[in-house]
Amino acid sequence: MNGQEQGSAIRINQEGYAAGLPVHAAVLAEGRVTLRDETGRTVREIDVKPPETDAASGDRVALVNLGRLGEGVYTLSAGGAAQTIRVRKDPWRAVTDGMIKGLYFQRCGCELPARYAGPYRHPACHTAEVSGWEDRSLRRKVPGGWHDAGDYGKYVGPGAVTAAHLIYAWKLFPDGCSDDLDIPETGNGVPDILNETRYELDWMLRMQREDGAFYHKLTKDHFAPFIMPQDDTEPEYLMPVSHCATAAACACLALAARAYRAYDADFCERALRSALQAWEWLRANPEFIPYRNPEGVRTGWYGDRSDADERFWAACELYAATGENEYREAAEALYAQGMQLIQFGWADVGGLGALCCLFDLRERAGDILYGALREDFLRQSEEGLAWSRQSGYGTSLAPDRYIWGSILPIMSHAMAMILNARLTGREDMRDAALIQWDYALGLNALDLCFVTGFGERRVMHPHHRPSEADGVSDPVPGLISGGPNKGFPYPFTRDRLKDRPPAKSYLDETPSADTNEIAIYWNSPAIFVGAYFRSSVRGK
């Protein structure tokens, strides 16, 4: 981007559109918008009102709804510019599958052979025994898991949230997930999205202390330079346990114990036992102590203000897994304190508890966790729709909310709107969620597809160590960038962006971690959204 104004006067989903779903485009021109089919016949003509200035981007832009289109290749023209619009039956298979495969590329502790990784192959990394940070006499092998983001750390809370997004994507939209992702487990009779998730879950089980608590993270004391993972051989440590990591792992493993029941009974038993031990530790340690990096540790903090939402999610999942009233009562008591139900990120996980209650427990959850919670959820999820309607691009984010990883609140809103649409059948919610999916794939103020390896105008220089160090010019594919961040730019970014508006505060440059890092828990909500839209068009 280099801070310059660029891009087409027409912004579209660069991966194309689905037959049967509305087609949206953003037009930065006044006058008439014309859509022609392959024969040149005009199929739509829309007079765009003089566009208003979009507060987040500063662009004069109008969001145009072209309605449902049949399969084909169309040309959209406006203000002297033209874009090709491709409408297909199942257009988002490659990008949704690609983002799950993106997590395969984050695998730690195993070789990524050319057979599955192509030019992104590398030998096994981070295989050495690790020690405890507080107790150096503690020595353990803790292989596996996904590298969290652009760095090589592995963090329990973010991993738990990522795994939960994937498991719920499979539970709710099984036909939105392909089973031929070309990963080592492909063809083993387990859906590939669960195969990939299992790689993280097996690691998570190893991150539990004997007393049931979970170590917050497994990292070095500082971030590695931009080297390949197998060359990052300095010692790693089990950092202190934390309430949030323990509660998030408890929830995620209780969910896994249900999800994998048909595939691996032994694993489910281990996962549930681990979740119950975690819950016992939380009961014995009721006072929340926020995690802080020990002195001398400078890797990701992932701090949190409260563990009430993590405990709430854990109680919901344990109730779903065991049916025991103790967990329902715990969830009800936590819910009564007030709960954000549309948050699906690593810090705020109330939305995952809501998902469990509304879609898995349903009426079994009772008057509070289904009846009252459903009303609460529907009311809260209006927020995403309201923000989408106020944005020139239809983006579900207030102009002052472009934070580090702005893709997360945007995808979280899309998740909430999808769940609302599933509960109520509301098409306005579904269509607004679709516009967030379009945002991720190019319908945005940057005219950029945020997923590496996809789209015509794509991210090329993510803050991602292997992508920089592997000698391959294209970045590792299937990873979604955090996107514009006005809130807290690093000096590198701030110096280059200066007075850029929030939705354009982005640099496709490797050092710009605050706008162009990737993260497993940004891929996963996008996978959830992609799986939903794939399943909604494949069923037709």
Binding site for Zn ion (CB under 5 A): 108, 125-126, 229
Smallest gap from Cβ 206 to Zn ion, in A, equals 14
Chain-centre distance for alpha carbon 106: 14
Nearer to Zn ion, 54 or 148 (CB): 148
Nearer to Zn ion, 125 or 446 (CB): 125
List for the chain the helix, strand, coil content (%; round to 5): 45, 15, 45
Identify the CA nearest to 194 among candidates 248, 262, 148, 254.
262
DSSP state, residue 336: T
Smallest gap from Cβ 148 to Zn ion, in A, equals 10
Identify the CA nearest to 154 among candidates 141, 163, 145, 143.
145
Pairwise CA distance, residues 255 & 196, whole Å: 16
Nearer to Zn ion, 103 or 411 (CB): 103
Nearer to Zn ion, 172 or 518 (CB): 518
Pairwise CA distance, residues 412 & 408, whole Å: 6
Smallest gap from Cβ 140 to Zn ion, in A, equals 16
Pairwise CA distance, residues 502 & 487, whole Å: 8
The answer to whether 396 touches 414, Cβ cutoff 8 Å, is yes
Smallest gap from Cβ 91 to Zn ion, in A, equals 34
Nearer to Zn ion, 128 or 138 (CB): 128
Nearer to Zn ion, 178 or 219 (CB): 219
Smallest gap from Cβ 464 to Zn ion, in A, equals 13
Pairwise CA distance, residues 450 & 440, whole Å: 6
Nearer to Zn ion, 155 or 319 (CB): 155
Identify the CA nearest to 271 among candidates 280, 283, 262, 258.
258
Nearer to Zn ion, 51 or 153 (CB): 153
What residue is closest to Zn ion based on CB?
Answer: 108
Pairwise CA distance, residues 428 & 451, whole Å: 26
**Main-chain phi, psi angles of 383, to 5 degrees:** -55, -45
End-to-end CA distance of the chain: 39
CA distance readout (Å), 326 to 246, 250, 331, 360:
19, 15, 9, 18
DSSP state, residue 499: T
Smallest gap from Cβ 224 to Zn ion, in A, equals 10
Smallest gap from Cβ 265 to Zn ion, in A, equals 30
Pairwise CA distance, residues 124 & 317, whole Å: 34
* Beta-bridge partners for 31: 48
Nearer to Zn ion, 48 or 125 (CB): 125
Nearer to Zn ion, 56 or 108 (CB): 108
Nearer to Zn ion, 108 or 166 (CB): 108
Task: Look up residue 255 and give its two tokens.
Answer: 């969910």
Cβ count within 10 A of residue 337:
10
Smallest gap from Cβ 446 to Zn ion, in A, equals 31
Smallest gap from Cβ 283 to Zn ion, in A, equals 34
DSSP string, 195-239: HHHHHHHHHHHHTB-TTS-BBSEEE-SS---S--GGG--S--EEP
Pairwise CA distance, residues 432 & 222, whole Å: 41
Smallest gap from Cβ 127 to Zn ion, in A, equals 8
* Beta-bridge partners for 449: 458
Q: Which residues, 6+ apart, have CB-to-CB distance to 131 below 8 Å?
A: 137, 138, 139, 140, 235, 237, 238
Task: Look up residue 356 and give its two tokens.
Answer: 């469990």
Nearer to Zn ion, 148 or 309 (CB): 148
- Coil/strand/helix, residue 11: strand
Smallest gap from Cβ 201 to Zn ion, in A, equals 17
DSSP string, 68-137: E--SEEEEEEETTEEEEEEEESSTTHHHHHHHHHHHHTTB-SS-B-HHHHGGG-B---S-S-EEESS-TT
Smallest gap from Cβ 325 to Zn ion, in A, equals 42
Pairwise CA distance, residues 537 & 241, whole Å: 44
Smallest gap from Cβ 122 to Zn ion, in A, equals 9
Nearer to Zn ion, 151 or 360 (CB): 151
Smallest gap from Cβ 52 to Zn ion, in A, equals 48
Task: Look up residue 172 and give its two tokens.
Answer: 């709710």
Nearer to Zn ion, 108 or 316 (CB): 108
